[in-house]
Amino acid sequence: MSLNYLVIEGNIGAGKTTLAQMISKKYQAKLVLEQFADNPFLPKFYENQEQYSFPLEMAFLAERYNQLNRELSHFDLFSPFTISDYYFMKSLIFAQNTLKPDEYNLYRQFFTIIYDKMPKPDLYVYLHKEPNLLLKNIAIRGRNYETHITKQYLEKITQGYFSYFKQQSDFPILILDTNGIDFVNKPEDFEKIVQTIFGRPYSNGINRVL
Protein backbone atom coordinates (compact mmCIF):
# COMPACT_ATOMS: atom_id res chain seq x y z
CA MET A 1 0.00 0.00 0.00
CA SER A 2 1.41 3.38 -1.04
CA LEU A 3 1.14 5.98 1.74
CA ASN A 4 2.33 9.57 1.91
CA TYR A 5 0.73 10.53 5.22
CA LEU A 6 0.08 7.88 7.89
CA VAL A 7 -1.51 8.59 11.27
CA ILE A 8 -1.24 6.32 14.32
CA GLU A 9 -3.70 7.21 17.08
CA GLY A 10 -5.31 5.75 20.16
CA ASN A 11 -6.41 6.62 23.66
CA ILE A 12 -3.97 7.75 26.36
CA GLY A 13 -1.56 4.88 26.98
CA ALA A 14 -2.42 2.90 23.84
CA GLY A 15 1.17 2.94 22.55
CA LYS A 16 0.64 5.19 19.53
CA THR A 17 3.89 7.12 19.95
CA THR A 18 5.93 3.96 20.43
CA LEU A 19 4.43 2.30 17.35
CA ALA A 20 4.91 5.44 15.24
CA GLN A 21 8.56 5.57 16.29
CA MET A 22 9.07 1.88 15.46
CA ILE A 23 7.50 2.20 12.02
CA SER A 24 9.45 5.37 11.31
CA LYS A 25 12.70 3.59 12.20
CA LYS A 26 11.87 0.57 10.08
CA TYR A 27 11.08 2.59 6.95
CA GLN A 28 13.18 5.73 7.60
CA ALA A 29 9.96 7.75 7.47
CA LYS A 30 9.59 11.34 8.60
CA LEU A 31 8.25 11.29 12.16
CA VAL A 32 5.91 13.92 13.62
CA LEU A 33 5.25 13.55 17.36
CA GLU A 34 2.81 15.59 19.39
CA GLN A 35 4.54 18.07 21.71
CA PHE A 36 2.07 17.60 24.58
CA ALA A 37 4.67 17.90 27.32
CA ASP A 38 5.19 21.57 26.46
CA ASN A 39 1.57 22.48 27.27
CA PRO A 40 1.72 24.39 30.59
CA PHE A 41 -1.95 23.71 31.30
CA LEU A 42 -1.72 19.90 31.17
CA PRO A 43 -0.64 19.21 34.78
CA LYS A 44 -3.14 21.81 36.02
CA PHE A 45 -5.92 20.21 33.96
CA TYR A 46 -5.50 16.79 35.54
CA GLU A 47 -5.70 18.41 38.98
CA ASN A 48 -8.67 20.69 38.19
CA GLN A 49 -10.42 19.80 34.93
CA GLU A 50 -13.27 22.28 35.31
CA GLN A 51 -11.02 25.31 35.66
CA TYR A 52 -8.36 24.45 33.08
CA SER A 53 -10.25 22.58 30.34
CA PHE A 54 -10.75 25.51 27.99
CA PRO A 55 -7.22 27.01 28.11
CA LEU A 56 -5.78 23.50 27.79
CA GLU A 57 -7.79 22.67 24.68
CA MET A 58 -7.13 26.06 23.07
CA ALA A 59 -3.40 25.67 23.69
CA PHE A 60 -3.46 22.19 22.16
CA LEU A 61 -5.44 23.46 19.17
CA ALA A 62 -2.90 26.18 18.42
CA GLU A 63 0.11 23.91 18.92
CA ARG A 64 -1.27 21.04 16.82
CA TYR A 65 -2.17 23.36 13.97
CA ASN A 66 1.22 25.08 13.99
CA GLN A 67 3.14 21.81 14.14
CA LEU A 68 1.18 19.93 11.49
CA ASN A 69 1.04 22.92 9.17
CA ARG A 70 4.81 23.32 9.49
CA GLU A 71 5.72 19.63 9.15
CA LEU A 72 3.27 18.57 6.45
CA SER A 73 3.86 21.53 4.17
CA HIS A 74 7.49 20.55 3.56
CA PHE A 75 8.11 17.42 1.51
CA ASP A 76 11.12 15.40 2.68
CA LEU A 77 13.03 13.98 -0.31
CA PHE A 78 14.84 11.51 1.93
CA SER A 79 11.75 9.96 3.55
CA PRO A 80 9.29 7.61 1.80
CA PHE A 81 6.33 8.96 3.81
CA THR A 82 5.36 10.96 6.90
CA ILE A 83 4.01 9.28 10.02
CA SER A 84 2.41 11.11 12.95
CA ASP A 85 1.24 9.93 16.37
CA TYR A 86 -1.83 12.18 16.26
CA TYR A 87 -4.35 13.71 13.89
CA PHE A 88 -5.80 17.20 14.11
CA MET A 89 -9.32 15.85 14.76
CA LYS A 90 -8.02 14.67 18.14
CA SER A 91 -8.50 18.24 19.34
CA LEU A 92 -12.26 18.10 18.84
CA ILE A 93 -12.63 14.62 20.33
CA PHE A 94 -10.93 15.56 23.59
CA ALA A 95 -12.61 18.97 23.77
CA GLN A 96 -16.03 17.37 23.42
CA ASN A 97 -15.35 15.31 26.51
CA THR A 98 -13.76 18.01 28.63
CA LEU A 99 -15.48 21.31 27.85
CA LYS A 100 -18.81 22.67 29.00
CA PRO A 101 -21.44 22.98 26.22
CA ASP A 102 -21.02 26.74 25.76
CA GLU A 103 -17.21 26.45 25.80
CA TYR A 104 -17.34 23.56 23.33
CA ASN A 105 -19.56 25.50 20.91
CA LEU A 106 -17.08 28.38 20.92
CA TYR A 107 -14.14 26.02 20.60
CA ARG A 108 -15.73 24.19 17.67
CA GLN A 109 -16.04 27.46 15.73
CA PHE A 110 -12.28 27.96 15.92
CA PHE A 111 -11.66 24.31 15.12
CA THR A 112 -13.88 24.28 12.02
CA ILE A 113 -12.11 27.30 10.52
CA ILE A 114 -8.78 25.50 10.77
CA TYR A 115 -9.75 21.88 10.07
CA ASP A 116 -10.79 22.33 6.44
CA LYS A 117 -7.30 23.60 5.63
CA MET A 118 -5.52 20.57 7.08
CA PRO A 119 -4.35 17.68 4.86
CA LYS A 120 -6.17 14.37 5.30
CA PRO A 121 -4.22 11.16 6.00
CA ASP A 122 -3.92 8.40 3.43
CA LEU A 123 -4.55 5.97 6.29
CA TYR A 124 -5.62 6.59 9.88
CA VAL A 125 -4.76 3.74 12.27
CA TYR A 126 -6.47 3.57 15.66
CA LEU A 127 -4.99 1.33 18.37
CA HIS A 128 -7.88 0.08 20.47
CA LYS A 129 -7.10 -1.05 24.00
CA GLU A 130 -9.36 -1.65 27.01
CA PRO A 131 -9.30 1.01 29.79
CA ASN A 132 -7.75 -1.31 32.39
CA LEU A 133 -4.80 -1.99 30.08
CA LEU A 134 -4.50 1.72 29.30
CA LEU A 135 -4.31 2.48 33.03
CA LYS A 136 -1.62 -0.17 33.41
CA ASN A 137 0.48 1.39 30.64
CA ILE A 138 -0.05 4.87 32.10
CA ALA A 139 1.17 3.65 35.50
CA ILE A 140 4.24 1.99 33.97
CA ARG A 141 5.45 5.15 32.25
CA GLY A 142 5.00 7.09 35.50
CA ARG A 143 4.14 10.62 34.44
CA ASN A 144 3.12 12.50 37.58
CA TYR A 145 0.41 14.59 35.91
CA GLU A 146 -1.29 11.45 34.60
CA THR A 147 -1.94 9.94 38.02
CA HIS A 148 -5.37 11.64 38.12
CA ILE A 149 -6.61 9.91 34.94
CA THR A 150 -9.58 7.65 35.67
CA LYS A 151 -11.11 4.69 33.91
CA GLN A 152 -14.29 6.69 33.36
CA TYR A 153 -12.35 9.48 31.62
CA LEU A 154 -10.64 6.97 29.32
CA GLU A 155 -13.99 5.38 28.48
CA LYS A 156 -15.39 8.80 27.52
CA ILE A 157 -12.43 9.43 25.22
CA THR A 158 -12.86 6.02 23.57
CA GLN A 159 -16.55 6.74 23.00
CA GLY A 160 -15.59 10.07 21.46
CA TYR A 161 -13.24 8.41 19.00
CA PHE A 162 -15.77 5.82 17.90
CA SER A 163 -18.52 8.41 17.51
CA TYR A 164 -16.17 10.33 15.23
CA PHE A 165 -15.30 7.22 13.22
CA LYS A 166 -18.96 6.56 12.47
CA GLN A 167 -19.28 10.00 10.88
CA GLN A 168 -16.01 9.94 8.92
CA SER A 169 -15.82 8.87 5.27
CA ASP A 170 -13.10 11.15 3.88
CA PHE A 171 -10.28 8.64 4.39
CA PRO A 172 -9.68 5.02 5.51
CA ILE A 173 -9.78 4.32 9.25
CA LEU A 174 -8.12 1.09 10.34
CA ILE A 175 -9.10 -0.04 13.85
CA LEU A 176 -6.59 -2.48 15.35
CA ASP A 177 -7.60 -4.42 18.45
CA THR A 178 -4.32 -4.49 20.39
CA ASN A 179 -5.59 -5.95 23.67
CA GLY A 180 -3.71 -9.19 23.02
CA ILE A 181 -0.85 -7.62 21.06
CA ASP A 182 2.60 -6.75 22.43
CA PHE A 183 4.37 -5.08 19.50
CA VAL A 184 7.09 -3.67 21.78
CA ASN A 185 8.42 -6.96 23.17
CA LYS A 186 7.29 -9.41 20.47
CA PRO A 187 8.81 -8.80 17.02
CA GLU A 188 6.23 -11.10 15.44
CA ASP A 189 3.42 -8.90 16.76
CA PHE A 190 5.10 -5.80 15.37
CA GLU A 191 5.51 -7.43 11.97
CA LYS A 192 1.88 -8.51 12.04
CA ILE A 193 0.80 -4.91 12.58
CA VAL A 194 3.15 -3.66 9.85
CA GLN A 195 1.77 -6.19 7.37
CA THR A 196 -1.76 -5.24 8.33
CA ILE A 197 -1.08 -1.55 7.76
CA PHE A 198 0.93 -1.77 4.56
CA GLY A 199 -0.21 -5.10 3.14
CA ARG A 200 -3.32 -3.97 1.29
CA PRO A 201 -5.44 -0.90 0.51
CA TYR A 202 -8.42 0.03 2.65
CA SER A 203 -11.66 1.72 1.70
CA ASN A 204 -12.78 5.03 3.18
CA GLY A 205 -14.57 4.75 6.50
CA ILE A 206 -14.13 2.09 9.19
CA ASN A 207 -12.04 -1.06 8.64
CA ARG A 208 -11.58 -3.50 11.54
CA VAL A 209 -8.82 -6.13 11.76
CA LEU A 210 -6.79 -8.17 14.29
Alpha helices of 73-124 — where are they, by DSSP H? Answer: 90-98, 101-115
Q: What is the distance between the terminal CA atoms of the chain, rounded to a whole angstrom?
A: 18
* Pairwise CA distance, residues 118 & 122, whole Å: 13
Specify the 3-state DSSP secondary structure of 135.
Answer: helix
Residue 85 designated active-site: yes
85, 116, 170, 182: the active-site residue: 85
Closest CA to 183 of 140, 127, 144: 127
Partners of 126 in the beta sheet?
Answer: 9, 175
Q: In this structure, how many other beta carbons lie within 10 angstroms of the beta carbon of residue 153?
A: 17
* Beta carbons within 8 Å of 71's beta carbon, 6+ residues apart: 30, 32, 82, 84
* Pairwise CA distance, residues 23 & 104, whole Å: 35
CA-based radius of gyration for the chain: 17
Which contiguous run of DSSP H or E holds residue 149? Answer: none
Positions annotated as catalytic residues are: 85
